[in-house]
Amino acid sequence: MSEKTCAACDYPLDENAIEVRVGGQTVEVCCEDCATKLREAHASATASQQAAARA
């Protein structure tokens, strides 16, 4: 059986994993820092897509 890993850094997850909702999907991360990084990356990508759509 494969081990679950953090969606941001690939660190092995344990019972303290944090669920984060990004782009309509729930992913698991190892810590609040990784959760913040994913949220910021999603916000940046979404803003870039919206800017491109307006151009």
User: Each residue of 8-17: pLDDT tens digit?
Assistant: 999 999 999 9
With tokens 């990004």, the residue in question is 22
- Phi and psi torsions of 22, nearest 5°: -135, 120
Widest Cα–Cα separation across the chain: 47
pTM of the model: 0.82
Question: What pLDDT is stored for residue 1 in this prediction?
Answer: 56
Q: Where are the domains of the chain?
A: 1-55
User: Given a cut of 60, is residue 43 above it in pLDDT?
Assistant: yes
Q: Which of 44, 11, 40 lies closest to 28 in space, CA to CA?
A: 11
What share of the chain in percent tops pLDDT 70? 98
Predicted pLDDT of residue 38? 96
